[in-house]
Amino acid sequence: MLRGPRRIMLGGPERLVKVSVAPVAALAVALLSSLSRCSLLEPEDRAVSALSPYFGTKTRYEDANPGLLPDPEAPRRDPELLEDTCTPVQLVALIRHGTRYPTAKQIRKLRQLHGLLQARRPGDGRAGPAGGRDLGAALADWPLGYADWMDGQLVEKGRQDMRQLALRLASLFPALFSVENYGRLQLVTSSKHRCVDSGAAFLQGLWQYYHPGLPPPDVADMECGPPRINDKLMRFFDHCEKFLTEVEKNATALYHVEAFKTGPEMQNILKKVAATLQVPVSNLNADLIQVAFFTCSFDLAIKGVKSPWCDVFDIDDAKVLEYLNDLKQYWKRGYGYTINSRSSCTLFQDIFQHLDKAIEQKQREQERKHKQGEWEREKQASR
């Protein structure tokens, strides 16, 4: 969301960055608390999966926008933005944090599923096609790869995501991201470590834009200063009592989601996965199925590998699991309840106040220049 005076907001909605240009600009980038993904492999070697279009917020950046593969630092300008007819006054971008590890809750569920596979009786495994080992046995031997301490922390690829995003934005709006305006940049973030770290990486990307080839200093030593934590602004939903009461802490708020989990579409997937992995269907549930599905996305994004978890599901399964995730977000964060959108009014009021202020400052500047020009013309005429 672009909104130089400029303002950039980085958040989950958990991070916000502000930068001002010439006297009027304010820049804000907000990084939302969620995932963005990129592979660790080089483009020609990158692992791919047919499931990638169905991972939602856990989709790698370059899977959603293949144009990033040739040059992830080059800006992609919308042809509708005409350079000669449009002058940016302010920029506001609402952005997700970079690629992260699974949360501790997700890791515990993955460990539970992994334990079910390892607990299969010695005779449970059957030979797969061409005499190979069955998928359940392959996954039982597949390294888990995630520990509780990782708990949603930003990975190095996530830092790279943010550095490259900063370079693209700065290249797209060079007048706003001028060296003179760098000192006016302010980063506001939630207290979530992945958002704080994403904000720091974004600032490092801007340093690279201003000082190519030079290693960036610690963000605390940068002219614009380190990210500033403001949970009331960037995690507005945690500070809205009505949202907390009616949605977040309401056991029945997601009853549509729970109904779908036990409905025929999900039950068919449970039976299919149980048969594929050769485990009792009674040992599986929708949450474990979702974790298996998203582990494919995490392995692609973080490790750059197409793990056996990707082979558990086909496209039809992926569509059902994508719908389940969308259904949850619809009722918990989207249009399901009116308070979901109203709880964000604090953030958007802040955004539009900065936009209005930027416009007013720009108008005053233009009026001042106009009066200055009239005065100079009158002075010339009186000579």
Residue among 9, 160, 26 at smallest CA distance from 96:
9
Using one digit for the tens of pLDDT, what is the confidence trace for 265-302?
999 999 999 999 999 999 999 999 999 999 999 999 99
* Marked catalytic residue, from 97, 114, 193, 354: 97
End-to-end CA distance of the chain: 52
> For residue 285, how many other CB atoms are within 10 A of its CB?
15
Do 131 and 183 touch, CB atoms closer than 8 A? no
Do 247 and 258 touch, CB atoms closer than 8 A? no
> For residue 357, how many other CB atoms are within 10 A of its CB?
15
383, exposed or middle or buried, with CB in 10 Å at 0-12, 13-18, 19+?
A: exposed
Report CA-CA distances (Å) from 6 to 24, 162, 199, 229, 294. Answer: 8, 19, 17, 20, 36
Distance CA 27, CA 19 (A): 4
Q: What angle do CA 117, 120, 123 make, to 5 degrees?
A: 135
Which pLDDT does position 358 carry in this prediction? 85
Distance CA 125, CA 190 (A): 47
Distance CA 47, CA 37 (A): 13
- Is 239 one of the annotated active-site residues of the chain? no
Task: Please list the ranges in the chain whose pLDDT falls under 50.
Answer: 1-7, 10-11, 13, 19-44, 128-132
Do 238 and 244 touch, CB atoms closer than 8 A? yes
Using one digit for the tens of pLDDT, what is the confidence trace for 236-269?
999 999 999 999 999 999 999 999 999 999 999 9
Work out the angle between the directed axes of helices 264-277 and 315-332 (0-180°, nearest 10): 130
309, exposed or middle or buried, with CB in 10 Å at 0-12, 13-18, 19+?
A: buried
Report CA-CA distances (Å) from 283 to 54, 289, 318. Answer: 25, 11, 21
Tokens for 81? 């933005």
pTM of the model: 0.81
Which pLDDT does position 82 carry in this prediction? 59
Distance CA 323, CA 320 (A): 5
Which pLDDT does position 301 carry in this prediction? 93
Which pLDDT does position 173 carry in this prediction? 87
Q: What angle do CA 203, 208, 210 make, to 5 degrees?
A: 95
Do 162 and 202 touch, CB atoms closer than 8 A? yes
